[in-house]
Amino acid sequence: MKPLLPTPAAHRQLSMHSIVENPVLWPIILITQVFIYSTYGIFINLSRVDGHVKYDSFSMVLSIETIKFLMALMMSWPEIVNHGMPEIRMKNVIPFSVPAFCYCLNNNLAVYMQDQMDPATFQVLCNLKIASTALLYRIIMRRNLRHLQWISLALLTFAGALNSYSGYTEKTLSLREIHVTSTGLFMAVLYCIISGFAGVYTEYILKRDIKISLPLQSCFLYSFGIILNFLMWIFQAGETLSLFQGYTKYTWIVIVCQAVNGLVMSLIMKHSSNIVRLFVITSAIPVATFLSIFIFHLQPGFEFFIVVITVVISIYLYNYSPIQK
């Protein structure tokens, strides 16, 4: 009797999982991902013309989703050519429309948030998504948190509140000073809730269909993203259907970086967890701060350094006590 051979999808899954278990390659990928994530707010601000974002955010996100889809298709193409298209049912595809809608909303919301706060504050406030992700992780993935992890979330909430208060008292909107508006605070709360749900639900459906390779699953997700953002772009553009209007070289850098960021985040959620994803996101805070100091000559106050230290301690405590299985 011949031994059972792994299916092409299973073989690819093992190949992807081996990357996560590689003690050298995986840390390099995570460190690179931290740097890429931290530069988002930086390049968005650099892409401004006369202090404002001149391009349509839906146009930029549409470009990002298209590039991600093409990259995922290229990764899955050898499997399709050599072994044919695997059996796919609508129940394997439709669930990806939910996170696609959430990501569509949040990706565009993140662009407008840049006008309401400085890049470093953007990174700190967006890390409140850890609290929403943890709560939704417990509900959707049915995993409990230990006491030490709840303490870390309380510290993180304190850090976000302190940063919001110190930034709200600033009257100037210069990139050289820490600042955040009341509209920015509302956007940050909405962003974190949507982000937490989208991240946890994406991990759930990625891990549920183990017979379908990650590149193909990514194609499902990004195809919905393309459709949604295309419709939003058509609605926003009106008669002016110029996809790349207002783009600068920094806009293209954002597009390429975010495309890579999306693919790596999918790999993390498929073969690791949202906890690792949150670690990457939060580690971007000090990196974004230091980059803002050198690029924008940012002058952070004493409170901001307390915030950064508190967030780092919170993340350490959160990861020190892993989620119970």
**Tens-place pLDDT, residues 116-171:** 887 767 767 776 777 788 788 888 877 777 888 778 877 877 776 676 556 555 54
Decide if pLDDT at 101 tops 90.
yes
**Beta-bridge partners for 49:** 52
Helix (H, G, I), strand (E, B) or coil at 52: strand
- Asked if the model's pLDDT at residue 36 lies above 80, the reply is yes
- 116: Cα within 13 Å, side-chain hemisphere: 19
For residue 322, pLDDT over 60 is answered with no
**Percent of the chain surpassing pLDDT 70:** 85
Q: Do the beta carbons of residue 130 and residue 318 sit within 8 Å?
A: yes
All residues at 6 or more sequence positions from 283 whose CB lies less than 8 Å from its CB, including other chains: 34, 315
3-state class (DSSP) for residue 49: strand
Q: Do 62 and 244 form a contact (C-beta atoms < 8 A)?
A: no
What's the Rg (C-alpha) of the chain?
20
Q: In this structure, are residues 20 and 271 in contact, taking their beta carbons and an 8 Å threshold?
A: yes
Mean pLDDT computed over every residue of the chain = 81
**CA distance linking residue 5 with residue 258, whole number of Å:** 37
C-alpha count within 13 angstroms, C-beta hemisphere, residue 145: 22
| Mean pLDDT score, 1-29 | 65
Contact 125, 109 (CB under 8 A): no
Within 127-248, where are the H helices? 129-140, 147-168, 182-208, 214-237
In angstroms, the CA 45 to CA 52 distance is 8
Distance of alpha carbon 98 from alpha carbon 206, whole angstroms:
13
Phi-psi region of 238 (alpha: psi -120 to 50; beta: other; left: phi over 0): left
The DSSP secondary-structure symbol of 166 reads H
- Lowest mean pLDDT: which of 58-72, 102-116, 172-186? 172-186
